[in-house]
Structure 1
């Protein structure tokens, strides 16, 4: 959700967020689709994806949310970890 909101607000010429997970689901949760739709953001086309070292290497900044050792290490990539609890 944060990635979609970020991308809806940022100048796409300056930045773009990519969302991925260490254990991605098979689909975006229906409650997320509904909540984002209420904000005018359509996520019906989004497919969760795996956070791989290759994907992370395309970033200038990697923000992780409590994935610890499961997060890929990319030499030289700045990483910030936001220790958020699992929303489940």
Structure 2
């Protein structure tokens, strides 16, 4: 493999990583922002109040996004296998 081919594989890997992780990170960010706003308004400083809703939101997003994530990873793997086979 030449240098540009390695960079293409790395770029494809990073793009796939961002596509897969972005929905989970965005939902976690929004839920955390909403919870911290709620805590600031009510002055409730309970640690489990921040952890449990984020955990539930991440599990729901992972369950809903699992087909997309699997398809994206499968596509990346097939593109990578094609590059390996073609030399």
- Quickly name the TM-score band, shorter chain normalised: under 0.3
Higher strand fraction (1 or 2): 1
Query: Which structure ranks higher in relative contact order (CA pairs < 8 Å, sequence separation ≥ 6)?
Result: 2
Higher helix fraction (1 or 2): 2
